[in-house]
Amino acid sequence: MIQITRVETVYPAPADDDEDYCPDGEATSTDDAVSFRELVDLMREHSMPSCSPARGEPYEWVSSEPHQDPYSGEYTESSVHYSRDNPPRMAKYWRAAMRAAGLVRA
């Protein structure tokens, strides 16, 4: 099992007259242990790497496209991070999962 940290940030709905919409979001994080297959699926759902080109390093993370709640107008961003609680030998699985998800070439 690979330890990950999921971060979800919720931003309030923009005011109609607010031209400089740049609010502070409320972030929550959860730690979880997932299988390699689950990690690859999560990376496919969160297909935006933190850097370009992605290399699969443990300090890189993946994010999803922000989505807006049609009722409240709030925006939610979600990201998946490699947990520092993993033993060093687990870093190779983070890169392999990014590669299997199609985020890292070669």
**What mean pLDDT comes out for the span 38-43?**
95
41 CB burial (10 A radius; 0-12, 13-18, 19+): middle
Task: Kindly state the average pLDDT of the residues 83-98.
Answer: 93
Beta strands in 1-106 (DSSP E): 2-11, 26-34, 48-49, 61-63, 67-68, 75-82
Beta bridge mates, 9: 27, 77
Give pLDDT, residue 2. Answer: 94
Tally of residues, the chain: 106
Indicate the SS3 state at residue 35. Answer: coil
Radius of gyration of the chain (CA): 16
pLDDT band at 106 (very low <50, low <70, confident <90, very high): low
Q: Regarding predicted confidence, which is higher, 16 or 24?
A: 24
Higher pLDDT, 66 or 80: 80
**Distance (Å) of CA 68 to CA 6, 14, 53, 100, 106:** 19, 11, 27, 29, 35
What mean pLDDT is reported for the chain?
A: 89
